[in-house]
A and B are shown apart, each in its own frame.
Chain A
Amino acid sequence: MSEIFAACSCFGLLMAMGTYQLARAINKRVGKEVCNPLLFATLLCGAVLLGTGTEYDIFYENGGKILEFLLTPATICLAIPLYKQFKLLKKNAGAVLAGCVAGVAAHMAGCALMLFIFHMEAAEYISLLPKSITTAIGKGLSEELGGFPAITMATIMLTGLFGAVAAPPLLKLFRVTEPVSQGLAIGTSSHAAGTSRAVQLGEIQGAASSLAIVVTGLLTVVAAPVFARLV
């Protein structure tokens, strides 16, 4: 089976797009998001590769890398919502900055705490630093600082999925009711995956969450190299 896949130049591309689209079709049929397309596609592609004994490299070389190649231009385009919502950002600039700084500081303190509790290796600890930010930046940052991009990816995915599922009840429990704050909290803690849920909560939440992705990403890019020196 894996020989056939290796011979098909679009195997990886079709697998990734097909499983992703399947999740969207299921959601549309049911009428609400029962399966997260990213998680669904990842698990299904992984299961097919494991089940057929196909190497990940075959998946990546035969189409997978085409999608990954587009990540950098896509991340650059986050400047578009930032530009569109600049007025909102400006009006609440103090709250946006203080909220994101506090969130990033809390995260970095948490990473340092984990370092001392678990006596982690330098590369393992560094892999956790970019966990709250959008995957494209987090993966690049992990590589740059000498972490394991795969561990960073796994942590970022877990973070995003948890944020997307648990944000509404958590915000309610801790009485965060201000729409701008709800959006900032979701964007700062759980990047784009969480933001997809914030958009469902309301337009202001969605806007603030998009802004928080960018601000938190920038803050983390600045703060992570400093905290990486702890080891």
Chain B
Amino acid sequence: MRSAIEGLLRTCVDLERQTEAAAAELPARVHRVTGQLAGVRLPPQVLDVAGLVQSVDGLGRQLEADLRERLADARQPYVAEIHALLGLLAPWHGVAALPPLVPATPDGDLRSHFPPGFARGYVDDLLATADTSRHLEPADALLVPVPSTDDMTAAWQAIREAFADAYAADGMALLTGSGCHAMQRHGPHITDKAQLARLLCLKDPAGDDTWQIVPSAEVSSGHRCGPVSGGFTSPRAMVRPLEAVLAAAGQRPGGIQELLDDNTASKAKAIALHVSAEVAGLRPGDASGYRGTGTTTRAMRDDWTAAREYGLAHGQVTVHGVPYDPLAAGDDPGVLIVFRRKKAGAPWRLVTYFPVDKPRPDTKRLEDLT
């Protein structure tokens, strides 16, 4: 159902775009013709040039109006169909029944056809991503290079230099600890293409996890990734959140171990914290990456993940990604940072951290730790 709605919306957008382009081109064409005609010097009794210019111009205007009116007619069945599909989805989501289609003016945009609430939210999400979404075939993902040893040496060097002196030793120790993959998946050296290959094809940007295209079968991957991928755009942006955590930990005699011990159940083995963009000193543009198209709700994210899994099992990529900077998109953006320990009392180790659009439920904010 999701792919039916997405497919119909894409068709609608294409239709709209082509009509718009044709309609936009018309006045220019007509203008060229009338311009040429106006330059023609003939005696009025041979040809009424002024009259002809006027009627050509009128014809152009009529054509343009026709095209726009036909667009409204042409998209009507699509809109009705999408509305019907959304109507089937509404009870699924346990929300109240969908109101009837809103009569939209011919020149109203596509979204204005749908009633506010669930339907418009769904359409908005897909429309917002239809224009900018990206796709990648497994064969393209295969060609995305993995950083060489030299690349990684340079990347690590840049990170070390980006740390303020006071935090360099502790920061590097956390980042290079066993089981930490913050740099490997979210480092500034990772290209956008590699982030897209990670999101759509589950290709490990570090090249550590198994990834292969089995001929005429599946894309076999040992890598894991949710419906979003991405990271920091500069070494300084990468180290800032860690410096914020180290600064908070520095207030205590027991440092980071004590800070984490004191803020979760004595037996919990993992803790995730939200470091707000403000506290971390991050701004829009300090993060980049992708998210799956149409992934703003719980159900849509699980749908998308299942669609990706199905595609890869058949050697195809059936989902799209859209460029995404969580620091620019969210209303309470920041960084999600995760620590784990083997058992109660064992030392906490850094697992990873990456930019997010808002705090995740059941996580604490760094500034609220006690």
A and B from one complex: no
Chain A positions within 8 Å of B, measured between CB atoms, are none
Chain B positions within 8 Å of A, measured between CB atoms, are none
